[in-house]
Amino acid sequence: MTQLHDLTALEQGKLVRRGEVSPRELAEHYLARIERLDDVGAFVTVTAERAVADAGARASAPADASPLWGVPTAIKDLNLTAGVPTMLGSAAFADFVPEISDNVTLSIEAAGMVSLGKTNTPEFGSPCYTEPDVAPPAVTPWDRTRGAGGSSGGAAAAVAAGLVPLAQGSDGGGSIRIPASCCGIVGFKPSRGVVSGAPMYGDPIGLSTAGSLARTVRDAAALLDVLAGHRAGDPYWREGGPYLEACDTPPGRLRIARFVAPVIADVPIDPESVAAWEAASSLLASLRHEIADIEVPLPAEAVPVFETCWAVLTALSVVPPERQGLLRPLTRWLTERGQAVSGPEFGLAIGALRRFAAGALTALAPYDAVLTPTLAVPPVKVGALRDDADPARDFDNQKRFTPWTSAWNVTGMPAVSLPLHWTPEGLPVGVMLAGRPGEDARLLSLAAQVEEAVGGFGRRPPGW
């Protein structure tokens, strides 16, 4: 028997608009599932009373309502939500309750969606695993001894376990695509400028953006339609969409570049990741796309420049002096690295990173998309990457785990991880496609074509 959580987010939204189910029924259904089934570390705060009240206020959808009106979701614990604890994954902010909401939260509320709470994230969203001091680790529902990835690990675990139908994440070096791969779902990072960073604008480099985590490409596109758009004061923006509509438009015959060599770390690639990439190449070729092998478009010299910028971004987190002792060892190590960078050095690093990005974009200009693995290995055991005793080794472990994703943050290109492969043990292995900057709609069209070609992403984890 089909239950509400078996339906896609768009199917749930259609039921709401037809009056066949109410937003309150949906919210209560998912809140009950969270209470019973959140053994995956998905939520750090559940706002049940507020969610039921918000759902009740959305009982009647306006004529021009978003297709996601009344659909439950959740907000990453890095995103400001007025009146709701927002810990930023850090014990230093364990009692922080913001007075304002950021653009992501406001956009979700304006679309009539109902947030059920805040999803788990590591401290300041920095690591690619979600093991904060303020909550249990986020794990993949396919094997609860293995991490959900990060930094949007709680959001991905919530979607994969059927605790929400879709969720927002953010991605500065792979933080949507990494957990999507670990949890066997779709993770879409849009182009730089598609989603506003208002009002904090905390990333002056332009690496990070909000995006979508969902079980289907069309759901991910519908959420991107909710998030997309600029606000007065944005330093840059990019017009686009509607993205859901693009999923119903064939992409045409595309030129797709591919490479498997790692970008930011000299690391062997697990045979399952290579097999996933090869199988995706064959699938794309069977869809009549032209596949071309290319060299890695970013040089090794870009890596230390990216690391300098990443460390400075960590150092920009304003932590009261009396609470700095609560920070994780990795955060303290990155902060010290960032604070050691002078203003002129930081400016030179940003300029160098932009030149590296320009070189990569020029090399990739002849191609409509780029195919790589998402991760070097399948999901790893909780604690396998983290090393509090040696933060430098921790950071290196992360680079070895995810040697491709950050390249597309540097270039500002849209990128998506698709759940196209599974190990013999039943672990998900994602495959990543990236597109030209601003061509998010075309990338979603291609992703939807791939999803249709494999018969949909219908696998469900234990405990569903």
| Residue pLDDT, tens place only, 135-158 | 999 999 999 999 999 999 999 999
Write the CA distances from 436 to 255, 288, 369, 427, integer angstroms: 12, 20, 7, 30
pLDDT at residue 56, as a whole number: 98
Examine residue 278 and state whether it is found in any structural domain, yes or no: yes
- Of 66, 76, 170, 181, the active-site residue reads 76
pLDDT at residue 221, as a whole number: 98
pLDDT at residue 317, as a whole number: 87
Is 181 one of the catalytic residues? no
Which strand ranges, in their side-by-side order, compose the sheet holding 209-214? 166-171, 209-214, 186-189, 415-422, 428-435, 369-373, 255-258, 290-293
Cα(37)–Cα(31) distance, rounded to whole angstroms?
Answer: 10
**Share above pLDDT 90 across residues of the chain, in percent, rounded to a whole number:** 98
Residue 180 sits in which domain range? 8-453
Examine residue 1 and state whether it is found in any structural domain, yes or no: no
Is 273 one of the catalytic residues? no
pLDDT at residue 1, as a whole number: 81
pLDDT (mean) for 33-57 = 98
Examine residue 29 and state whether it is found in any structural domain, yes or no: yes
Q: How many CB atoms lie within 10 A of CB 15?
A: 18
pLDDT (mean) for 163-183 = 98
pLDDT at residue 318, as a whole number: 85
| Residue pLDDT, tens place only, 299-336 | 999 999 999 999 999 999 889 999 999 999 999 999 99
Is the bond leading into 428 cis (omega within 30 degrees of zero)?
A: no
pLDDT at 395 over 90: yes
Examine residue 459 and state whether it is found in any structural domain, yes or no: no
pLDDT at residue 22, as a whole number: 98
The lowest-confidence range among 51-60, 168-177, 234-243, 387-396 is: 234-243
CATH number of the domain to which 381 belongs: 3.90.1300.10
pLDDT (mean) for 266-285 = 98
pLDDT at residue 168, as a whole number: 98
300-326: buried (b, 16+ CB within 10 Å) or exposed (e) per residue?
eebbebbbbbbbbbbbebebeeeeeeb
Write the CA distances from 364 to 258, 282, 342, integer angstroms: 10, 21, 33
Examine residue 460 and state whether it is found in any structural domain, yes or no: no
Question: CB-based burial of residue 291 (10 Å sphere; 0-12 exposed, 13-18 middle, 19+ buried)?
Answer: middle
Cα(24)–Cα(46) distance, rounded to whole angstroms?
Answer: 16
Q: Find the helix or strand (DSSP H, E) in which 341 lies.
A: none
- Of 107, 151, 170, 212, the active-site residue reads 151
**Share above pLDDT 70 across residues of the chain, in percent, rounded to a whole number:** 100
pLDDT at residue 79, as a whole number: 98
**Three-state DSSP state, 312:** helix
Write down the residue that tokens 């070096």 correspond to: 173
Is 66 one of the catalytic residues? no
- Of 115, 126, 175, 281, the active-site residue reads 175
Examine residue 461 and state whether it is found in any structural domain, yes or no: no
| Residue pLDDT, tens place only, 52-111 | 999 999 999 999 999 999 999 999 999 999 999 999 999 999 999 999 999 999 999 999
Examine residue 353 and state whether it is found in any structural domain, yes or no: yes
Number of domains in the chain: 1
| Residue pLDDT, tens place only, 402-451 | 999 999 999 999 999 999 999 999 999 999 999 999 999 999 999 999 99
Strand partners, 358: none
pLDDT (mean) for 285-303 = 98
Examine residue 344 and state whether it is found in any structural domain, yes or no: yes
Q: Find the helix or strand (DSSP H, E) in which 446 lies.
A: helix 440-453
CA torsion sign, 227 to 55 to 456 to 145?
positive
What does pLDDT average to over the chain?
A: 97
